Amino acid sequence: MNILTVNTGNEKLDEAYKRMQIHICTYDKVDEFMNYFRTITKDKKEDELLKWLLKVLFWEFKYGRVDKKHDFDLLLEKVGTAKKEQLEKWLKDNLEKVENV
């Protein structure tokens, strides 16, 4: 799964992105990830890890998703017109159900 863009032009920051992506994809819940992160900070300088984490977050929020399409949009581009209309209707109907809950 590729959730983070890794092309900052900074070799160390790109490496931090790759590592963060591996760790995040390993866990399903934020609490599990936080517990893991706390265990690795015992061996490293916590300030150093926090600095790199903040750099990754800053870069991702500032630049990471500008030209990216959502996976659903990519799927709609690949299917035929009839299937596209069916998927768009399905998405709209399900979003309305969630909003009404």
Helix (H, G, I), strand (E, B) or coil at 96: helix
Is the Cβ–Cβ distance between 53 and 62 less than 8 Å? no
Residue 79 belongs to a domain: yes
Amino acid 1: pLDDT: 46
pLDDT digits (tens, 9 = 90+) for 14-57: 887 787 777 777 888 888 888 887 787 766 677 777 787 788 77
- Mean pLDDT over each residue of the chain, to the nearest integer: 77
Residues 57 and 15 in one domain: yes
Residues 19 and 44 in one domain: yes
Residue 88 belongs to a domain: yes
At residue 13, what are phi and psi to the nearest 5 degrees? -65, -40
Is the Cβ–Cβ distance between 77 and 71 less than 8 Å? no
Residue 50 belongs to a domain: yes
Cut 0.75: pTM above it: no
Q: Which of 12-16, 58-62, 91-95 has the highest mean pLDDT?
A: 91-95
For residue 77, the enclosing domain spans 71-100
Residues 43 and 75 in one domain: no
Residues 76 and 60 in one domain: no
pLDDT level of residue 99 (50, 70, 90 thresholds): confident
Predicted confidence (pLDDT) at residue 67 exceeds the cutoff of 70: no
Residue 1 belongs to a domain: no
